[in-house]
Amino acid sequence: MERWITLWQSTALAAFTWQQAVMMGVGALLLYLAIRKKFEPLLLLPIGFGAILANIPLAGFTEPGGILYYIYVVGIDTGVFPLLIFMGVGAMTDFGPLLANPRTLILGAAAQFGIFATLFGAIALNVIPGFEFSMKDAAAIAIIGGADGPTAIFLASRLSPELLGAIAVAAYSYMALVPIIQPPIMKLLTTKEERSVRMEQLRQVGRREKILFPLAVLFLTLLFLPTATPLVGMFCLGNLMREAGVVERLSKTAQNELINIVTIFLGLAVGSKLSASEFLTVETLGILALGAVAFSIGTASGVLMAKLMARFSKTPINPLIGAAGVSAVPMAARVVNKVGLDANQSNFLLMHAMGPNVAGVLGSAVAAGILLALVG
């Protein structure tokens, strides 16, 4: 009889808590979203699976000795994984459209208002009992508005590791929801005439300009905002490898094999943070709500800034491209293109939207650097 009891106690059934079961449900939901709905499957699939593994009772995945624990410590605690991803993103990014129309940089800046407004919102949420966000927590939550996964994970791992799971899940889910969140806001703030404005063709950008650009960005960052150099530096390295044209092998590795390998581990490590004690709180609900607000404000301020620019510009500007200022490359630019096509069947805004889109990546990395400097 005793043997039976020992055996029973070593099964998962006996040790299950309802919280763990719920978290496994959350993991399963993420798997469903990834596989069935194709929401950011590259990340949500490993995150969802990681969440299931992390909540298996008695298996100890997330305790010292467990694999998820080590993956987390090696990759996210140190900040290495998000930075490697950022290098890969840099190697995939073509700054051509931005260099051809540098003014769109301002749109990328305006959209970052989503981040800073949310910081304020998170602190204001403390009025409601049950919420106790510190300034660091608020900054880590706010960066969801940057619509940039690696930046969000990097900042959260520096400022508020216990919220990392919820922040990463919110960031990637909302990035997948960009085609649903953005269009109503874009349509609300623009008229049909504005949406059908045609823009002038972009000029061809020379190779030398493209090579010098990442170096110039790095130079300015190290002078004025050293706290942003981890993100911006890795990004520029990736981009330089791409544009230099002499290390094609490295560039290809950074944007394919390396980023894929790191993505698997990054997803698992984020999943390991989806434990019941850290995720099943009111704060998670608050984070999810704030994330949506951050996205919406970012989109709106980008569009409004584009309207302002259009008023003073000699060349026509379609205000829709402002919405692409929240990074989420290239999804946000595609959404702009689609909404533009709805208004004018033959108006292709994709390349024009890529400018503010990549400016948004730089903008959110800069915003992350500012938050680290001010709050970190």
Partner 1 sequence: MEQQLSEAFTIMLTGMVTVFVFLTLLLFAMGLLRRVAATNEPEQAPTPSRRKRTNEAATDGQRLAAITAAVHTYRRDHE
Position 374 contacts partner 1 (CB under 8 A)? yes
Judged by CB under 8 A, how many residues of this single chain contact partner 1?
Answer: 41
User: Min. distance of Cβ 321 from partner 1 in angstroms?
Assistant: 16
- Report the C-alpha gap between 119 and 140 in whole angstroms: 8
Question: What token pair was written down for 171?
Answer: 């960031």
Please select the residue that binds partner 1; options are 57, 66, 126, 281, rule is CB under 8 A: 126
CB of 209 to partner 1, least distance (A): 4
Q: How far apart are CA 144 and CA 171, in angstroms?
A: 5
Taking CB under 8 A as the rule, does residue 13 contact partner 1?
no
Q: What is the CA radius of gyration of the chain?
A: 22
* Interface stretch with partner 1, choices 99-107, 179-187, 191-199, 244-252 (CB under 8 A): 99-107
Beta strand segments in the chain, E:
none
Q: Which of 188-207 are b and which e, b meaning 16 or more Cβ less than 10 Å from the residue's Cβ?
A: ebbeeebbbbebeebeebee
Instruction: Report the Cα 311 to chain-centroid distance in Å.
Output: 31
Q: Which of 24, 31, 119, 270 binds partner 1 (CB under 8 A)?
A: 119
Which pairs count as long-range contacts for 24-31, CB under 8 Å and 24+ apart, including other chains? 24/51, 24/52, 24/55, 26/51, 26/274, 26/279, 27/51, 27/52, 27/55, 27/271, 27/274, 28/52, 30/169
Tokens standing for residue 42: 């590259």
Q: From the list 106, 164, 178, 332, which residue makes contact with partner 1 (rule: CB under 8 A)? A: 106
> Does 324 contact partner 1 by CB under 8 A?
no
Q: Please, which residue, 75 or 360, has the CB nearer to partner 1?
A: 360
**Contacting residues for 95 by C-beta, under 8 A, at least 6 apart:** 205, 210, 213, 214, 239, 243, 358
Tokens 């490697």, residue?
Answer: 84
Task: Tell me: does residue 109 bind partner 1 (CB under 8 A).
Answer: yes
Q: Which of 103, 187, 198, 252 binds partner 1 (CB under 8 A)?
A: 103
**Of the ranges 63-71, 108-116, 292-300, 344-352, which one interacts with partner 1 (CB under 8 A)?**
108-116
Which residues in the 139-158 window bind partner 1 by CB under 8 A? 139
Task: Decide if residue 363 touches partner 1 (CB under 8 A).
Answer: yes
In angstroms, what is the minimal distance from the CB of 143 to partner 1? 11
Residue with smaller CB distance to partner 1, 194 or 209: 209
Q: Report the distance separating Cα 296 and Cα 104, nearest Å.
A: 19
Q: Is 177 exposed, middle or buried (0-12, 13-18, 19+ CB in 10 A)?
A: middle
Q: Name the residue nearer to partner 1 (CB basis): 350 or 366.
A: 366
Under the criterion CB under 8 A, does residue 227 sit at the interface with partner 1?
no
Q: Taking CB under 8 A as the rule, does residue 44 contact partner 1?
A: no
Q: Where are the alpha helices (DSSP H) in 55-202?
A: 67-72, 80-92, 96-100, 104-110, 113-124, 135-142, 149-159, 164-176, 178-189, 192-195
Q: Which residues bind partner 1 (CB under 8 A)?
A: 99, 102-103, 105-106, 108-109, 112-113, 115-117, 119-120, 122-124, 126-127, 135, 138-139, 206, 208-209, 212-213, 216-217, 220, 224-225, 359, 362-363, 366-367, 370-371, 374-375
